[in-house]
Chains A and B, each alone.
Chain A
Amino acid sequence: MRLVKKVNVIAVLAGVATLVMGCQVQNSKPEVAGTVSDSGVHTFMLDNGMKVLVQPDHRSPVAVSQVWYKVGGSYEYPGITGVSHALEHMMFKGTKNLKPGEFSDIIAENGGSENAFTGKDYTAYFQRISSDRLELCLQHEADRMRNLQLNETEFKKEIEVIKEERRTRTDDKPTSLTYERFNAAAFINSSYQQPIIGWMNDLDSMQLKDLSSWYATWYAPNNATLIVAGDVDPHQVYTWAKKYFGVLKPSAIEAPKPRKEVEQMGERRISVKAPAKVPYLLMGYKVPVLKNVDDTAEIYALEVLAGVLDGGSSSRLSQQLIRKSEIATSVGAGYDPYARQQTLFLFDGSPRDGHSAVELEQAIKKQIKSLQNNAPSKDELDRVKAQVMAASVYEKDSVFYQAMQLGTLETVGLGWQKKDEYLEKINQVTAEQVQNVAKKYFKDDRLTVAILEPQEIDVNKRPKYKSAGGRHGH
């Protein structure tokens, strides 16, 4: 029932830089074709403005290929929410050269697996495959970057699939529903208030031409990054990238409107009444991200703060709220420093029987207060740093994850080199800095709270499944 990832700092964000603590890896080399960083990332730039990153890893004869586009849920505006994700689905429905589903079939025949994902700030497509078949992926990925054939019949079916996806992910899950409403309440004018999958009403009224125009606006080589990791030769990858992606025409890409969140002027609070059994609490404080902060040290201090609160079973929230006061049955905290816009430092959890969500909220606030009054201990800080250091070694076990990190950083405009700096920056964080960011950002005026208030699960209160347009062929 928890949405916030337990692993927060540790697994999600640690840099891959180096095996040796304290060994500085700063990468500020200019990005001309063919540079290679100390951490082994090869960077190439194609003439049409597409960036290519290659991270060799020769442990297994496999490769992952990912193409990341700078477009996602936060690029959308009211009325067309969900269009990035809908387009992602339609990207599998054929090009001038391939029939619907044929790209997938080709990958499957070659023993590969493939998928795509849409986030707030990006849309990405990937294949995992035997490294000797990588060229196929690049060839067809390049094809659909510019040659997609959007077809009305396919769209009519696929938009119904997407609505089913929305029902599965959100409408029938009380905690997800609460998160969606919470998010919409927390942000006033920022596009982060919109659900990535889109509001149902927007999906109902979505048309193929919305997708065509979205495709025309954002899908171009100069708005994309190719990332290849695994058992590959970087220069061979570069050669193929030039051959397949290099020939594509760039577009004039206009940056999305900033839609910078206005300053919050007091606590915001909502309740969500839905059929459920267990109450659920979400709290979020507005915090800056690496992309838009004056002092970047604050961001790493917030990361360490998340670690002190919820970096493993020994961290404060588990210790104090689950094991000591026994108010929570589950509790978590987390933060994404790599978002494109101002975001939220989140807390979530469910109370034990006999306690309310409001009591849990008070208990979390008490933990916050304690960090504001007293800096964390040296032991706590050391534990967080040890976990980040170890995670920077463990993550080498997943080629896919390493590629994900490069893709995220590059696509939000931070530059992939931030990955190499992470460990060092975390090591520099002091207890006092952690205390300071807790004081500066964990203020009631920056807070949004949502509480799921379980309602009886009553079969007589059935959802309406009416959907504009109805279904085809039935």
Chain B
Amino acid sequence: MDINLMRTIVKTISIAAFCLALVPVASASPDIEYWETSKGARVYFVPSSDIPMVDIRIVFDAGSARDEKIPGTAVMTNGLLAEGAAGESAQVLAEKFEAVGAQFANGSLKDMAWLSLRSLRDDKYLRPALKNLQNILIKPDFPDVAFQRELERLKISVKAKKQSPNAIASDLFFAELYGNHPYASPSSGTEESLQKLNIQHLKSFYKKYYVASNAVVSVVGQLTKAEAEELVNDLLAELPAGSTAKALPEVMPLKQAKTIHVDFPSAQSTVMMGQVGLARGDVDYFSLYLANHAFGGSGFGSRLMEEVREKRGLAYSVYSYFSPMHQAGPFQIGLKTRNDQVDEAIKIIRLELDKYVTQGPGEDELQDSLKNITGGFPLRIDSNKKITEYLSVIGFYGLPLDYLNTFVGKVNKQNKDKVNDALMRRIDPQKMLTIIVGAKKS
């Protein structure tokens, strides 16, 4: 509870954005074992013998992009899984994990919905935890009382977003950038959509999307491949094959610039600017990853941090990122600054973006970023937790098994010409969406 103040906010971006940070050097990456179960679930495994524990992460293509008519469906479906399964109550399910020291978690983002388990390796702990996970995964009951309760709780968190300038800005940013695309609506749903939601929606959503051919399972821990195979086979034995979710529609970029200022009585104005960025597997991925790193992705030393914070003291944090998703995720720039400074801050960002797109990074900026990316690779995969999350991203987005081993080579192939070319083609500073939430000048 005692808040440690950090020099900069460590910005955590959804897992979808995570792999941008991956940059391997030769032989430092773990060897990934891959197989498919008889029903079509894709499994990624890395043995890790040092600590007597096991991490399992199951990801479904069942995020809020699949919500269709009622935003909030995906989040509620995922949230209800552990609220009653195989005839056991939420209380009993929680007790069964906690009695063996297992840590269970679940959640849902725009693209993916996930469940994760961390358990001790010893069968005495692992077996009961797996059995419990299996019930939650395969036999959720969606009890009515739990549905009503969790729906009420979700409504309160939707209400609480209205007191957060950041949440207001973020929801509006996605709504405006994505228009009619499924990425437009908030994963939490809205006050209106949650009124319409019923338990039947959840059950059908579950039936359609929580199926083997829509699943990616990542396992890291003190197991042999044979043990991992047996574990996953047992876990998913009763999960129907189903079918893979259809591809999401393509995203249309904004046709013209747009600025929206929401009047809000906060001390700071929250600014989010951006446009449609790129999807996983995009040909310009590596060029833009590098370009963004130097522009606003690396924190201190980045162009934006230098201009906005270091030179002018205008903001505590300023950032930019590409968040590649199934379809084109956003390119976003953001900061918060005292209300009376917001025009100046936006002007600086626009100026810098304009310059950056037309001139590209300086040779020294490019080299600094390359060194940071390549030299820092071992830090990205220095724990079982991180490796488990990377496996999920690789699996979910169908990235190649040698993705880690080849990433650094692909980054190193970049040069100033390629980066400049990609920036010119892919970022149009004249068509930026700008959201401001804060007190307008009186």
Q: Which A residues contact B (CB, under 8 angstroms)?
A: 1, 3-5, 19, 59-62, 85, 88-89, 92, 100-101, 104-105, 108-113, 115-120, 128-130, 133, 156-165, 167-169, 171-174, 176, 179, 196-197, 275-278, 311-314, 318-319, 322-323, 326, 329-330, 334, 336, 339, 346, 350, 352-353, 379, 382-383, 386-387, 389-391, 393-394, 396-399, 454, 457-463, 465, 467, 471-474
Contacts and interface: CB of A to CB of B under 8 A. Distances in A.
Given A172-B268, A473-B312, A101 B301 contact: yes
A463 B100 contact: no
A168 B269 CA distance: 10
B12 interface: no
B267 interface: yes
Nearest to B300: A104
Contacts of A352: 152-153, 156
Given A115-B10, A168-B317, A459-B263, A101 B155 contact: no
Contacts of A386: 98-101
B130 to A, nearest CB: 15
Contact of B153 (A5, A85, A329, A399): A329
A238 to B, nearest CB: 23
Given A352-B152, A394-B53, A473-B312, 6 more contacts: A167-B268, A171-B267, A334-B1, A379-B95, A459-B440, A467-B338
Contact of B338 (A62, A92, A167, A454): A167
A276 B264 CA distance: 11
B336 interface: yes
Interface in B1-53: 1-10, 28, 48, 50-53
Contacts, number: 257
A350 B6 CA distance: 27
Interface string B79-116: 00010000000110011011111110000000000000
B94 A314 contact: yes
Contact of B265 (A113, A164, A314, A461): A461
A318 B82 CA distance: 14
Given A109-B371, A113-B379, A350-B156, A314 B91 contact: yes
Given A165-B316, A394-B53, A462-B442, A61 B339 contact: no
Contacts of A133: 375
**From A59, A172, A473, residue with most partner B Cβ within 10 Å:** A172
B339 to A, nearest CB: 6
B374 A383 contact: no
B266 A164 contact: no
14 contacts: A110-B375, A115-B6, A159-B313, A162-B316, A167-B267, A167-B336, A171-B268, A173-B164, A312-B94, A352-B156, A386-B100, A462-B439, A465-B338, A471-B313
A275 B98 contact: no
Given A118-B4, A157-B313, A167-B338, A278 B156 contact: yes
Contacts of A330: 153
